[in-house]
């Protein structure tokens, strides 16, 4: 099975590559998604290779391989920053918005229910602007539990698939949340990591309390955190001097996040590293990118990195999507696809 990688940009819509990021295809005016879309997030499910969902500043879009087009799905949501699908039921989708609210669909995005979350605010007097949900995540071993982080608002936990939510902020030095990751060691003990504008936090009691974990860096601003798919002991963390910033670092841990080592990225960074994208079938294949569009690829599990020739404007998200489309399929509405790499 092959996998395409999709890039979401802030102002230049969605791009995709099927040659491991060497070349990229940009939508044209007939693709179904407007060309100036701000694409904040994607979601795909391994059991449904035809569909990819995109959260944008104009609501929800869905890509369908069978029609080779984006379709705008009407919803009560305007600006969608986070999407996640139920691991056991791909038609169940959760969304987080700006201003911050949680929503749930049980019919693949046709209809939506607004979920109640105590204490969630739509406006922050700290930054004098709307709050936003920056990530939603299912616990990989307990699919009844969903996590959501709100910028600015804290960490929310649901233990009943989103029907009720609890705010979990004890110990956080900041409520300006960015990302979240969950790892289990070989003894089955769980650690949860959350990133903020003032540093990395960890919880070993399922989010009841959080402890600040300082990095050996000139800045504590942390953004994306993810474990390598084949080994929870190996995590990657992005860190820099703010959004967009003008420099930063990529970090790796080989001991479940207890200690961190800086990874060297080639060249001079133009902004804060933003996130790391992991391949669903090949854990050795990784991408990371900066907020202002520099793209880097590793083919050895993060040991070495290569800067890719294409540079985006403002890049916000990357996601791999498994696909089995035939190599000789006709070109679709986005423009002609690059040749398929077998």
pLDDT of residue 342: 46
SS3 assignment, position 132: strand
Cα–Cα distance, 108 to 51 (Å, whole number):
10
Query: How would residue 132 be classed by pLDDT, with cut points 50, 70 and 90?
Result: very high
pLDDT of residue 333: 45
Q: Are 158 and 164 in contact (CB under 8 A)?
A: yes
- pLDDT tens track for 67-86: 888 999 999 999 999 999 99
**Is residue 110 predicted with pLDDT exceeding 70?**
yes
Average pLDDT for the chain: 92
Token pair of 14 as six digits: 């969605």
Cα–Cα distance, 333 to 35 (Å, whole number):
13
- Who wins on pLDDT, 123 or 249? 249
**Is residue 52 predicted with pLDDT exceeding 90?**
yes
- Give percent above pLDDT 70 in the chain: 94
First-to-last C-alpha distance (Å) of the chain: 9
129-143, 270-284, 292-306, 324-338: least confidently modelled range: 324-338
94-103, 116-125, 200-209, 222-231: least confidently modelled range: 116-125
Query: How would residue 329 be classed by pLDDT, with cut points 50, 70 and 90?
Result: low
Query: How would residue 328 be classed by pLDDT, with cut points 50, 70 and 90?
Result: low
pLDDT of residue 127: 75
Cα–Cα distance, 58 to 79 (Å, whole number):
6
User: What CATH code is assigned to 2-323?
Assistant: 2.130.10.10
What Rg value do the Cα atoms of the chain yield, rounded?
19
27-36, 56-65, 267-276, 330-339: least confidently modelled range: 330-339
């Amino acid at each position: 099975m092959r996998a395409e990688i999709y890039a979401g940009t802030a102002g230049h819509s969605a791009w995709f590559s099927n040659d491991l990021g060497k070349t990229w295809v940009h939508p044209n005016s007939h693709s179904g998604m407007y060309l100036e879309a701000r694409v904040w997030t994607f979601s795909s499910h391994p059991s449904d290779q035809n569909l990819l969902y995109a959260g944008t500043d104009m609501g929800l879009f869905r890509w369908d391989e069978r029609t080779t087009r984006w379709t705008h799905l009407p919803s009560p949501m305007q600006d969608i920053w986070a999407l996640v699908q139920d691991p056991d039921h791909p038609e169940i989708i959760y969304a987080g918005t700006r201003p911050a609210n949680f929503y749930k669909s049980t019919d693949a995005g046709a209809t939506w229910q607004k979920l109640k979350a105590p204490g969630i605010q739509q406006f922050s007097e700290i930054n004098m602007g709307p709050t936003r949900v920056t990530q939603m995540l299912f616990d990989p071993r307990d699919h009844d539990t969903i996590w959501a982080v709100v910028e600015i608002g804290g960490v929310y936990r649901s233990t009943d698939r989103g029907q009720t939510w609890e705010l979990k902020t004890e110990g956080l030095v900041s409520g300006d949340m960015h990302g979240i990751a969950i790892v289990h060691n070989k003894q089955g003990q769980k650690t949860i990591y959350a990133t903020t504008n003032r540093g990395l936090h960890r919880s070993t009691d399922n989010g009841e309390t959080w402890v600040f974990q300082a990095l050996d860096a000139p800045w504590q601003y942390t953004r994306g955190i993810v474990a390598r798919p084949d080994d929870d002991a190996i995590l990657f963390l992005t860190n820099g001097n703010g959004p967009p910033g003008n420099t930063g670092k990529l970090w790796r841990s080989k001991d479940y996040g207890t200690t961190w080592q800086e990874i060297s990225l080639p060249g001079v960074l133009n902004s804060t590293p933003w996130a790391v994208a992991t391949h669903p079938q090949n854990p050795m294949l990784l991408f990371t990118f900066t907020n202002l569009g520099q793209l880097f690829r590793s083919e050895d599990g993060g040991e070495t990195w290569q800067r890719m020739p294409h540079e985006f404007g403002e890049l916000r998200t990357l996601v791999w999507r498994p696909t089995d489309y035939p190599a000789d399929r006709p070109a679709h509405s986005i423009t002609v696809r690059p040749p398929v790499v077998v």
